[in-house]
Amino acid sequence: MAAKKKKQRAPKSTAESTRVRHLLSLDAERVMKRLTAKQDEAVGLFSRLRTREALIDLCRSDFTSAPFAELAKLEPKEQAATAGFHEVLHELRWYVSYTEDMPSTVKTTVAQYVRRLDELHHALRVTLGPPEALGHRVIDVPASATRR
């Protein structure tokens, strides 16, 4: 009798790291969508009501509750991309929590942070993959390579 073929599965650690990459990518995607869609409105509330809650809420991330053991499943390059994005997000959260700047300066500063985060988000997506790809990496093609 022929031996039964065993269904090959990805090693457990690979499957787990794929899920971790997917969740981190999904979290970063949600953060960026909130920031780009609501930053002007949140600054407007800060200006009118002198309340910071809307600005702080834009910086909310599930990353801060991710256990170290889960993050350790990522490759060092993936860890660095994740840490880089969230470090700047943390700086923005700190700024909007404690700034004494006038609303026009807050608007300019938040916009600068969002531009930096957008660049880091792109690098994160290249490294981890977009959330809809379930953790598969994206190939980053320079713009000059696509022109002919």
Residue 10 falls inside a structural domain: no
Q: Which comes out higher in pLDDT, residue 141 or 73?
A: 73
- State the Cα–Cα distance between residues 109 and 65, nearest whole angstrom: 26
Residue 98 falls inside a structural domain: yes
pTM: predicted TM-score of the whole model, two decimal places: 0.79
89-129 confidence digits (pLDDT tens) = 999 999 999 999 999 999 999 999 999 999 999 999 999 99
> What pLDDT is attached to residue 45?
94
- State the Cα–Cα distance between residues 117 and 120, nearest whole angstrom: 5
Residue 1 has pLDDT above 90, yes or no: no
Residue 28 falls inside a structural domain: yes
Residue 81 falls inside a structural domain: yes
Phi, psi of 137, rounded to the nearest 5 degrees: -70, 155
Residue 3 falls inside a structural domain: no
> What pLDDT is attached to residue 62?
84
Residue 59 falls inside a structural domain: yes
Residue 78 falls inside a structural domain: yes
Residue 70 falls inside a structural domain: yes
Domain interval for residue 88 = 15-134
Phi, psi of 19, rounded to the nearest 5 degrees: -65, -40
**CATH code of 27's domain:** 1.20.120
Number of domains in the chain: 1
35-75 confidence digits (pLDDT tens) = 999 999 999 999 999 899 999 999 999 887 788 888 899 99
Q: What band does 141 get if pLDDT is binned at 50, 70 and 90?
A: low
